Structure 1
Amino acid sequence: MTLPITQQLAERVERAEMNTLLSRLKGIQKREGNPMRVQMHRFGEAMLFLTPGIPGGGFNKLMGLRNEAMPYLDMILAEFDDANMPYRIDVVPGMLQTESFQTLSKRGLHHLSFHGALVGACKKPVHTTEDVEVRQLARDDFQLYAELYGMSFSMPAFLYEAIAENNVILYDEPGWSFYLATMDGAPAGIASMHVHDDVATLAAAGTLPDYRGRGVHKALLHARMEQAVSQGCELLVGQATFASASQRNMQRCGMQLAYTKAVWGPIPS
């Protein structure tokens, strides 16, 4: 079923992504001593996420920026400057007026890229991938989860332990589930999902290079769709690099592009 794309739906998709990141970082923040140094600050409807222990824009960003939050901009940028690390500001279509974009530019920020947000009505998948088996992870599977995640994204092995610890902490958090895909008994990919209210967010997914193009990502999508339906969810949302294989797989499973967000930030040095 095709959903009419409205501003209200776009805001709902954005809130789902914010709720997922908020839940993830609240969980990581609970680790003894807060080793990732997680901080979260709200400015009106906007939410600032800072995680110096996990460099990169995915965990160090501003979401939910509206015209009403622009008076807080200097305060927000001061928080980023104090952290002294790369960050990004996600801007959803329809949220800012021309004057707000001009203000961002005057503060030395630039439009750097786009990122796709997808949405679909929750329904059981019509097709399954018979060669791929998917099961939910147990608590003692997270070292394997971390290794598969790291290898899927070409991350150095010394990060695997931190990946495991930052995800196993979510095992008992409300709404989280984790998945392992295998082919012929061999691990092939992993995924996670977060449910908040009646919206399921496809939080992460990775496929080992040797298994790409063989239906692993599709099978992980199907497993999460079935779980979302069983939990009574109304919407399924996800994020993907624009025009990527991940976006195409989501669209083949019945999801559609809700919008492409504009990613703003300082020019990388």
Structure 2
Amino acid sequence: MKNMIDKSVSTSIEIVEREAWLDLVVAAPADYVESSKVSSARLGAMVGIADLGVPITEFNRILGLGIGKPVNEAELDQAIAWMNDNAAASFALQVSPTALPEARLVEWILERGFKNAGNGWAKLYRDSVPVVDQAVPTTLDVRLVEAHQAEEFGRVAQAAFGLPETIIPLLSAIVGRPNWKAYLAYDGDTPVASGAMFLDNKWAWLGVDATLPDYRGRGAQNALIRQRVSEGISAGVVGFTAETGQPPEGQEGSNKSFNNYHRSGFTRVYARRNYKFGI
């Protein structure tokens, strides 16, 4: 699939995701911060997030690298040093195709011993055109999560992702928080799938998309995406973004997450690379 990159769109995509993940970490309850050693920092235009209790890329990475303004070598070294001091060893430097300075940034990263890891992440985008009728009908019911259901939201997301139960307080903390909307899909009275939306400066980041194994293939994520986009448009959102793992070239059609967003009007605009040390 060919990249179609508009720099202003790319910048907005990276910024809203950066702010969403920073806010998620900032919202972490004090006991979770203590037990999981979760931390975050603004490093110029970049943000570093770290969680030693969940040593995977999503929770240990630099976001916004070279977005909005060029990064120099000193700033890159500062970011790497912060990650070395705070993050799991598998942390990633994430670099979009429009990161600045375009001609040198990847070269600097490679010189410091980092290597490209895997296919990267497909960054998805849609504008505020109204949603059409749902492509995959479902009998599941999507509901906005209330404050008293926060732990229920966290448990569904944790179980569906296969993450340790210790992360439930962190995932639960976004419920009722300013700029966040959390949703659950229900089979009767049973919550079976989750999704969240972070709104910032008329942009929305969609994430925490997870469905319990026994309920996959029943249209939960299509319904959750549709609900979030519809409510985002009503709230004045002009652009939506989300991401999935980038499938191998030519195999996008076999990736369920990719297809769920494609059916809902999203387009892959670029693949963002993950650079890791010592792989």
- TM-score w.r.t. the length of structure 2 is 0.85
Is 2:262 aligned against 1:251? Answer: yes
Count of residues paired in the alignment: 260
The Cα shift of 1:105 comes to 1.5
- Structure 2 distance, partners of 1:164, 1:50, is 17
Q: Give the CA deviation at 1:94.
A: 2.3
1:8 CA displacement: 1.4
The Cα offsets for residues 26-81 of structure 1, whole Å up to 9 and x where unpaired, read as: 111x5358324333333332222223343222121112222423322223222222
Secondary structure, counterpart of 2:113 in structure 1:
coil
Aligned residue in 2 for 1:76: 79
Q: Secondary structure in 2 aligned to 1:58?
A: helix
Note if contact 1:20-1:203 (Cα within 8 Å) is conserved in structure 2.
Answer: no
Distance 1:84 1:33, change over 3 A: closer
1:116 to 114, 122, 145: 122
2:159 corresponds, among 151, 156, 161, to 151
Q: Secondary structure at the match of 1:34?
A: helix
1:233 and 2:241 correspond: no
1:233 is aligned with what amino acid?
A: V
User: Does the alignment pair 1:171 with 2:171?
Assistant: no
Q: For residues 133 and 99 of structure 1, what CA distance do their matches in structure 2 show? A: 49
* Aligned counterparts of 2:227 and 2:182: Cα–Cα separation in 1: 10
**1:142/1:164 contact within 8 Å kept:** no
Distance in 2 of aligned mates of 1:122 and 1:91: 26
Post-superposition offset of 1:231: 1.0
Q: Aligned pair in 2 of structure 1 residues 130, 83: CA closer, same or farther (>3 Å)?
A: closer
- The verdict on how the C-alpha distance between 1:144 and 1:169 changes in structure 2, with shifts beyond 3 A counting, is closer
* Matching residue of 2:30: 31
State the match for 1:208 in structure 2: 212
Decide whether the 8 Å contact of 1:88 with 1:263 is kept in 2. yes
Q: Give the aligned residue type for 1:175.
A: N
Range moving further from structure 2, 218-227 or 92-101: 92-101
Once the two structures are TM-superposed, the CA of residue 232 in structure 1 deviates from its matched residue by 1.2
Q: Is the 8 A contact 2:145 2:183 kept in 1?
A: yes
Identity of aligned residues (%): 21
Unmatched 5+ residue regions in structure 1? none
Indicate if the aligned counterparts of 1:189 and 1:208 stay in contact, CA closer than 8 A.
yes
In structure 2, relative to structure 1, the CA distance for the partners of 1:151 and 1:33 (3 Å cut) is closer
1:142 matches 2:150: yes
What amino acid maps onto 1:153 in structure 2?
F
Once residues 263 and 72 of structure 1 are traced to their aligned partners in structure 2, the CA distance between those partners, rounded to angstroms, is 18
Q: CA deviation at 1:165?
A: 1.4
Tell me the C-alpha RMSD between the 2 structures.
2.1
Matching residue's letter, 1:151 = A
1:57-68 paired onto structure 2 within 5 Å = 57-66=57-66, 67-68=70-71
Q: Do the aligned partners of residues 224 and 84 (structure 1) sit closer, same or farther apart at CA in structure 2, a change above 3 Å counting?
A: closer
Q: Deviations over 1:143-202 (max 9, x none)?
A: 3223322221233xxx33x33311332223211111111234433211111111201110
What's the secondary structure of 2:75's corresponding residue? Answer: helix
1:89 and 2:93 aligned: yes
SS of 2:278's equivalent in the other structure is coil
